[in-house]
């Protein structure tokens, strides 16, 4: 997508520098900074510190990390060491392990002399595939928005609510939950998006930055406002992303997603999840019992970063001294609260049967 009129992906390979370039998202939405990632330590820090974030983007970043490892030392031992090192960076988003497993499976049979070039080519492929997956999620989600728009009074926008940032900067391009919004806006459908702030990291600000750059009308709201808006008929559809989805359609996403799903169910508001297939964990059935939930630094809850009136980016403490903070980063929404899953292959119900209908080969391989 575009930043100040220039097209960017959230990561890209700079052949002249021989290094991966990323948008350092710690500084958004106030400052746009690009960073070269040149060491394995850089790759790990980029993922852990959320310089890159979002399940698809983490996976693509890890693939380039494996490429760097093979350029440094293409041995089996180093391949396994890189897999272990990168896989430990974040526990919840399944795309990380998916990308690492894919790289290792493709590279292991090759002679060591061929691995560096093959690994870089594969990283490019994973990045390009992510762009196409998300583009198609957008096209399939567009059909749902069209159906809602057709039933609205003339001139009234389709009102969407989203949680966290499942936008183009959480993927390589297009985003998951935002992709249908971009397609609908570009098709001339009037939209208004309610953007949850998404504490504690306020990632809704990233969504607002994206939507504003694309000209999509939106309002930034507190996390606790969504249920109120639904009660008063001001939300036509909720659409979120996901970091890991079970084979039966339980959805793990940013903390607070479950509460939005409960409010949507209570008020008859359709709740859709934009789901790239690499985010499905075919080895897990019960999301609440089986998906590991990352517990992040308590400082993320006790302190907040923003821009001062003087224009400086700074951090302030919002709690009393000595107050401990708890910071589970994700929660799980059971499949019975999910109206449907928007995938690159179409829309299905959130169930084992629904996913099997769209992805029969993956279902069979997991059995």
Q: Are strands 271-274 and 237-240 parallel, antiparallel or unpaired?
A: parallel
How many C-beta neighbours within 10 Å does residue 313 have?
Answer: 12
Cis status of the peptide bond prior to 307, with omega within 30 of 0: no
The yes-or-no answer on residue 286 being catalytic is no
Please state, in angstroms and rounded to a whole number, the distance separating the CA atoms of residues 59 and 133. 14
How many C-beta neighbours within 10 Å does residue 193 have?
Answer: 23
Please state, in angstroms and rounded to a whole number, the distance separating the CA atoms of residues 68 and 120. 8
Burial (CB count <10 Å: 0-12, 13-18, 19+), residue 135 = middle
Helices H / strands E in the chain, number of each: 13, 18
Torsion of CA 80, 18, 55, 42, to 10 degrees: 70
Q: Where are the beta strands (DSSP E) in the chain?
A: 2-3, 6-7, 11-14, 19-23, 34-37, 158-162, 191-196, 218-221, 237-240, 244-246, 251-254, 271-274, 280-281, 303-307, 313-317, 330-333, 340-343, 346-348
Considering 223, 243, 250, 281, which one is annotated as catalytic? 243
42 closest CA partner among 56, 61, 55? 61
197 closest CA partner among 165, 235, 240, 168? 165
H helices of 161-272, in order, are 179-186, 204-214, 226-231, 257-267
Catalytic residues: 243
């Amino acid at each position: 997508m575009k930043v100040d009129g220039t097209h960017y992906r959230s990561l890209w390979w700079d052949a002249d520098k021989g290094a991966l370039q990323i948008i350092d998202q710690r500084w958004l939405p106030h400052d746009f900074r690009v960073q070269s990632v040149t060491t394995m330590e850089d790759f790990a820090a980029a993922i852990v510190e959320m310089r890159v974030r979002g399940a698809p983007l983490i996976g693509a970043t890890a693939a380039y990390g494996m490429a760097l490892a093979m350029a440094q030392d293409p041995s089996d031992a180093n391949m396994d060491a890189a897999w272990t090192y990168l896989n430990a960076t974040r526990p919840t988003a399944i795309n990380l392990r998916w990308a690492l497993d894919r790289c290792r499976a493709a590279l292991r049979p090759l002679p060591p002399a061929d691995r560096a070039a093959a690994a870089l080519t594969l990283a490019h492929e994973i990045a390009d595939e992510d762009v196409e997956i998300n583009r198609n999620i957008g096209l399939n989600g567009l059909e749902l928005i069209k159906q809602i728009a057709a039933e609205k009074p003339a001139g009234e926008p389709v009102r969407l609510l989203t949680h966290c940032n499942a936008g183009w900067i959480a993927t390589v391009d297009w985003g998951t939950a935002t992709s249908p919004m971009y397609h609908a806006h570009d098709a001339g459908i009037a939209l208004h998006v309610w953007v949850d702030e998404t504490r504690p990291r306020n990632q809704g600000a990233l969504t607002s930055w994206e939507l504003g750059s694309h000209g999509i009308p939106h309002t930034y709201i507190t996390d606790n406002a969504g249920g109120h808006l639904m009660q008063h008929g001001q939300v036509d559809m909720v659409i979120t992303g996901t970091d890991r989805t079970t084979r039966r359609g339980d959805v793990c996403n940013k903390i607070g997603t479950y509460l939005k799903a409960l409010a949507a169910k209570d008020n008859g508001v359709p709740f859709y999840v934009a789901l790239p297939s690499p985010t499905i964990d075919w080895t897990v059935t019960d999301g609440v019992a089986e998906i590991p939930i990352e517990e992040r630094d308590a400082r993320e809850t006790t302190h907040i970063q923003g821009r001062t009136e003087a224009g400086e980016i700074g951090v302030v403490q919002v709690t009393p001294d000595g107050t401990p903070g708890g910071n589970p980063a994700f929660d799980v929404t059971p499949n019975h609260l999910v109206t449907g899953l928007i995938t690159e292959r179409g829309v299905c119900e959130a169930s084992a049967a629904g996913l099997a209908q769209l992805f029969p080969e993956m279902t069979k391989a997991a059995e």
